[in-house]
């Protein structure tokens, strides 16, 4: 699983972009567009939280069911790591 250390979340054009700021060379790694939920998940993971910890914090924040949020976080991260390789 690729680390998110080199990635930053930027907000622009009404959306969030996950950008690999360390990319080099001629080949462009296109920023990945994520929604607000995704941006929060990335922020928490970059802060060193596990998926479970991130889900717990988000469930508290949005007063949502932990299991459902955990599932959403898991699906989001799986899809994200697939996109960034």
Partner 1 sequence: MKRSVEEEIIYNSIKWYMFPDKRDQIVFGAYSSEDFLKAVDTAKKHVVVPFLFDAFNEGPLKESAPAECLKEINDITRKTVIQSYRLFFLTRYTSGLLNDNGIKTAVLKGIAAAREYPKMLYRKSGDIDLFLLDKTNLSDAVKILQDNGFLFSEADQTENHQVVLLSSDGIKIELHTMITEPFSETKVNEKLSLFENDLINYTESVSIMGSEILCMQRGAFAFSLLLHALQHFMRAGFGIKLLCDMAVLFENGLSEKEKETYLSLVNENKLTGFSEVILSVCVYYLGLDKEKVPHDLCDIKMCDAFLDDVLAAEEFGRSDVNRMAVMNSTGLGGYFKEFHHQMKLSFPKASKVFIIIPVLWVITLFRFLRNNKKVRNTTAREIFKNSSERSKMAMELEIFKR
Q: Which residues bind partner 1 (CB under 8 A)?
A: 10, 12-15, 17, 19, 21, 23-28, 30-31, 33
Shortest gap between Cβ of 24 and partner 1 (angstroms)? 6
**Closer CB to partner 1, residue 17 or residue 37?**
17
Instruction: Give the integer Cα–Cα distance in Å for 18 and 34.
Output: 7
**Closer CB to partner 1, residue 38 or residue 54?**
38
Residue 63, H or E segment: none
**Closer CB to partner 1, residue 9 or residue 69?**
9
Phi, psi values for residue 57, rounded to 5°: -65, -40
């Amino acid at each position: 699983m690729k680390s998110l250390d080199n990635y930053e979340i930027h907000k622009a054009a009404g959306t969030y972009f996950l950008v690999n700021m360390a990319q080099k060379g001629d080949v462009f790694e296109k920023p990945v567009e994520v929604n607000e939920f995704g941006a929060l998940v990335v922020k928490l993971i970059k802060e060193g939280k596990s998926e479970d910890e991130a889900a717990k914090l988000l469930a508290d924040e949005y007063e949502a069911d932990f299991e459902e949020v955990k599932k959403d976080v898991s699906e989001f991260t799986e899809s994200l790591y697939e996109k960034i390789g």
